[in-house]
Amino acid sequence: MTVELISVGTEILLGNIVNTNAAYLAEKLAMLGLSCYHQSVVGDNEERLEDAIRLALDRSDIVILGGGLGPTKDDLTKEVTAKVFGRELQEDAHTRERIQEYFDRLQRKNPITENNWKQAMVPEGAVVVDNHNGTAPGLILEGENGKTAILLPGPPNEMIPMFDRDIAPYLNRLQPEGIYSKMVKVCSVGESRAETMVKDLMEQQSNPTLAPYAKTGEVHFRVTAKAADEESADALMQPMLEELSRRFGKNIYTMDENVTLEEAVILLLKEKGMTLTTAESCTGGLLAGQLMNVPGASAVYEEGYITYSNAAKEKLLGVKHETLEQYGAVSYETASEMAVGAAKAAGADAALSVTGIAGPDGGTKDKPVGLVYVGCCVNGRVRTEEFHFTGNRRKNRDYAVVRALTLLREELL
């Protein structure tokens, strides 16, 4: 079964926003075992959008359109798709009620206007998919010729949960056999080494299949099985999952696709009844922010420190003046003292410190851009690691955060 993606919006064509929706949907469709041979972006133009929809329906079984479901005149996706399918628009009472409830919750901060009711108009015979994060419902139009159009809202925080909750199960049901998968997330192992460790499994695969995905400082393995039901798929995948567990051991931090590394670390701290603090220089709060993305992180994290200057490192963390004079702010010794000092200042069981040269300037021959030291203090025991990253400023900082979380996890284990 083939699926085609059409992203709607002039702002995408102009580069005002990055089309992350298409990347997300393409990966999800592949996981569902669906073939996606074409993707396109169309501006807010009725004629060009109609041409794109007709072409997509001519060569694909299902067309997923993202965006253009808003209340303004240039939001044309629903109207043009209805025209292509030969359907009239009619008001959906359920959607109108949900829109009213949405604006009632805003308590007049953003009062409803007449054009908002445009979103309650749906093509005749369409399946309405409730939007739990906005006002534009999703729509499924099934044609008499076996062709289907699926309309999704453009904002990622509306599109992603709608696709995961309702559209993915719908697509899975259309196939003679379901596609089921498990994610194995690995840290502390580089991409090349990780792939080498499973090369034989990938060469022998049939059903289930094994696919690696390189992430920032991590490697994820997706195990996918085709089966009549989830129970049968689990039975097929289990030997592969057990073999991956045998090979990677404690480097696997989760087999839950929705769990992130920072969530795994926070959970580990909770299980051990320990608290955490952070002391950051080159990452400037990025590490703390990553941890704060985890709901309930406040149970283990109370305070942190951003100490860019040497004076701040001395004043807030107790780094010795002599250490900074002799070894410099970017050094093994400073990172170690930052971690110890942060733990003491915060009264925390564990502390992470990061100091380095993120770039693009500031590097020297002895201390080049990308040099980062990460310190980890757990119950008074200190371990500090030196890293050499080769990306731009943003990438270097991102990698530093992942390496810090990985180091803390290793020490907690």
User: Domain boundary residue among 140, 157, 173?
Assistant: 173
**pLDDT 10s digits, 48-61:** 999 999 999 999 99
Q: What is the mean pLDDT of residues 123-137?
A: 96
Taking the C-alpha atoms of residue 399 and residue 240, their distance in angstroms, rounded to an integer, is 29
pLDDT value for 100: 92
Average pLDDT, the chain: 95
Same-domain status, 32 and 155: yes
Q: What is the mean pLDDT of residues 189-196?
A: 92
Same-domain status, 352 and 397: yes
pLDDT value for 23: 95
What range defines the domain where residue 191 resides? Answer: 178-254
Q: What is the mean pLDDT of residues 317-333?
A: 98
Residue 108 binned pLDDT confidence (cut-offs 50, 70, 90):
low
pLDDT value for 308: 96
Same-domain status, 219 and 138: no
Give the CATH number of the domain where residue 397 resides. Answer: 3.90.950.20
Q: Among candidates 391, 396, 395, 347, which has minimal Cα distance to 374?
A: 396
Give the CATH number of the domain where residue 218 resides. Answer: 3.30.70.2860
Same-domain status, 215 and 134: no
Q: What is the mean pLDDT of residues 129-152?
A: 96
pTM for this predicted structure: 0.75
211: which 2 tokens?
């696919």
Q: Among candidates 237, 178, 177, which has minimal Cα distance to 206?
A: 237
**pLDDT 10s digits, 141-189:** 999 899 999 999 999 999 999 999 999 999 988 877 778 889 999 999 9
Beta bridge partners of 378: 350, 381
Taking the C-alpha atoms of residue 336 and residue 349, their distance in angstroms, rounded to an integer, is 15
Strand ranges across the sheet with 209-215: 209-215, 218-227, 178-187, 252-254
> What letter would DSSP give residue 126?
P
pLDDT value for 262: 98
Q: Is the pLDDT of residue 31 over 90?
A: no
Same-domain status, 167 and 222: no
Number of helical (H) and strand (E) elements in the chain, helices listed first: 16, 17
**pLDDT 10s digits, 374-409:** 999 999 999 999 999 998 999 999 999 999 999 999
The owner of tokens 């990253």 is: 389
Cβ atoms 343, 301 nearer than 8 A: no
Give the CATH number of the domain where residue 137 resides. Answer: 3.40.980.10
Same-domain status, 304 and 231: no
Cβ atoms 178, 231 nearer than 8 A: no
Taking the C-alpha atoms of residue 225 and residue 177, their distance in angstroms, rounded to an integer, is 10
Same-domain status, 360 and 268: yes
Same-domain status, 9 and 141: yes
Same-domain status, 140 and 199: no
Same-domain status, 53 and 81: yes
**pLDDT 10s digits, 275-323:** 999 999 999 999 999 999 999 999 999 999 999 999 999 999 999 999 9
Our count of domains for the chain comes to: 3
Same-domain status, 227 and 290: no
pLDDT value for 174: 87
Task: For the chain, give the number of residues.
Answer: 413
